[in-house]
Structure 1
Amino acid sequence: MADIGLLERYQDFRTRRFLRHEEQYRHWLPRWRTQRRRRALVVVLTLILLSMVAVGVVCVNDMKTGPVLWIPVCVAFLVTWTVLQIVSGRQGDAPRDALDEWEVQQRDSARSIGLTVTQTLTFVPAMFLIVAGALDLDIDRSNLVYSAGLLVLTTLVIGACAPAMILAWTRPDPDTDTDDHQELA
């Protein structure tokens, strides 16, 4: 019984924090909140994530260039991901009590897809690491481990980003008339 109280208190805390942040960021980047611009951010984020995969592959053979490429790709990821989260209202990781029934259904569906993406994509670098570790390939072991680590990390990030990307892509434009009337009231 004590666990239920603790979980409920934590959910209440998450909901209050989410609503406080939503209020704080609600007016940031208003021109980027359209479906067209959110989709552009999703495309850019997809390209950045593919770049992260490419850097992981480069690191198999080139440990001088690969890690140097990782830094700007990560910076680009952090900026793009933050902007996407702001303009999409962080619906992908919103607590249940902060959403209506339709939003909960959409969020849960996107999360389910994100889990499937994570499991499927992470299988590839894991198998690469297993096969390359079992065979005596002409790959430096430290390069192999570093590269596989980057690839696993990237697949986990892709899976974690998938729900927000799906929701940002599929959600219609916000109804600006309703928002304006609520602010005037």
Structure 2
Amino acid sequence: MMPFVRTATETPTFLEKLEARREAKYLKRVEQMSGWLPRWRNQAGRRKLVIALEACLVLMLLSGIALIGALIDMFPSWLGLVWAAVSFIMMFVWTSLNITVDMIDSAPISLLDEYQQDQILSLRGLTYRCYTYFGLAAFLSLIFVGTFVLNENPDWGHYIPYSVGIFGIVAFLFISTLPTVVYAWNLRDE
């Protein structure tokens, strides 16, 4: 029987294969979209998209309040449709912004240069901290405010999930877009 000989090229592990596949997929997407939205691929264009995205998030918050008002018959029911329209516009603006920065926030770290790695990793850390604090505040408010509302106004209790859901979606979108928004705002023209 021959002894086991280890070769110089070992078989890649599952995680290495997964990372290689992720890198190839990312590079393919960037190459495919590199010619899209050429007029928005400058600092002024990206900043306009950032402002539009933040305006959409504010409009989502306001239309969410209107939706809750429509659910409790405080506002006309057609105002609930504004939420859907603003959500659709926000998805378009978010996708456009992501394309103009080559989806940098979802790029594998190995494909980024040192400066990009530093920025993206610190922004991902900021996002994580924001999620942590938001989650803590949301859960505590559900416990205390939800309990108070259910005890004082049980008729309003079934609107708590809608309210928390709407405010949670807006906060989630705001927090999750932070890396791309900050990167796009600070990215200078080449």
Q: TM tier, shorter chain?
A: 0.7 to 0.9
Counterpart amino acid of residue 116 in structure 1: R
For residues 158 and 66 of structure 2, what CA distance do their matches in structure 1 show? Answer: 13
Conserved? CA contact 2:67–2:83, under 8 Å: no
Deviations along 1:106-125, whole A, 9 cap, x unmatched?
Answer: 11112122223333344444
Query: Higher Cα Rg: structure 1 or 2?
Result: 2
| Aligned equivalent of 1:38 | 46
Query: What's the offset of the Cα at 1:97?
Result: 2.0
For residues 117 and 49 of structure 1, what CA distance do their matches in structure 2 show? Answer: 16
1:140 aligns with 2:156: yes
| Aligned equivalent of 2:83 | 70
- Alignment equivalent of 1:11, drawn from 19, 24, 37: 19
Conserved? CA contact 1:59–1:143, under 8 Å: no
Structure 1: gaps of 5 or more residues: 176-185
| Aligned equivalent of 2:56 | 48
Distance 1:154 1:34, change over 3 A: same
1:79 aligns with 2:79: no
For residues 97 and 15 of structure 1, what CA distance do their matches in structure 2 show? Answer: 8
1:29 aligns with 2:45: no
User: Quick check: 51-60 or 79-88, which moved more?
Assistant: 51-60
Deviations along 1:77-99, whole A, 9 cap, x unmatched?
Answer: 11000000000111111111221
| Aligned equivalent of 1:166 | 182
Query: What's the offset of the Cα at 1:166?
Result: 0.7
Distance 1:96 1:84, change over 3 A: same
1:95 aligns with 2:111: no
Aligned residues: 171
Counterpart amino acid of residue 152 in structure 1: G
Q: Aligned-residue CA RMSD in angstroms?
A: 2.0
Query: What's the offset of the Cα at 1:137?
Result: 4.6
Query: What's the offset of the Cα at 1:22?
Result: 0.5
SS in 2 for 1:62: helix
Structure 2: gaps of 5 or more residues: 1-11, 72-76
Conserved? CA contact 1:18–1:98, under 8 Å: no
| Aligned equivalent of 1:156 | 172
| Aligned equivalent of 1:180 | none
Query: What's the offset of the Cα at 1:149?
Result: 1.0
| Aligned equivalent of 2:4 | none
Deviations along 1:1-34, whole A, 9 cap, x unmatched?
Answer: xxx8121111111110000010011111111011
